[in-house]
Structure 1
Amino acid sequence: MLGPYRYFCPACNLESDPYFLKRTADDVGEDHRHKRHGGLHPVGECILTSGELRAPQGGERSAVVAFAVIMLLAFGAKILGLV
Structure 2
Amino acid sequence: MEDEREQTPKEKIIWGYRYTCDACDGEGDIHETVEDAQTEQDKHRNREHGGLKPRAGDSIDKAELRREPAAEAASSSGGGWILLLIIILIAYATSR
- The normalised TM-score by structure 2 is 0.50
Are 1:46 and 2:59 matched, yes or no?
A: yes
Higher helix share: 1
- Superposition deviation, residue 14 in structure 1: 1.1
- The whole-number CA distance in structure 1 between the counterparts of 2:21 and 2:65 is 22
Unpaired segments of 5 or more residues in structure 2?
1-13, 68-96
Aligned-CA RMSD value: 1.9
Over the matched positions of the two proteins, sequence identity in percent amounts to 40
Q: Which residue of 2 aligns with 1:36?
A: 48
How many residues are matched?
Answer: 53
Which structure has more relative contact order (CA 8 Å, sep 6+)? It is 2
Letter of the 2:66 partner, please give it: R
Deviating 4+ runs (over 2 angstroms): 52-55
CA distance in 2, matches of 1:23, 1:3: 14
Structure of higher CA gyration radius: 2
Secondary structure at the aligned position of 1:18 is classed as strand
**Residue 72 (structure 1) aligns with:** none
- Unpaired runs of 5+ residues, structure 1, are 56-83
Normalising by structure 1, we get a TM-score of 0.57
User: Which whole-Å CA distance do the structure 1 matches of 2:65 and 2:19 have between them?
Assistant: 17
The structure that is strand-richer by fraction is: 2
Query: Which amino acid is 1:32 matched to?
Result: H
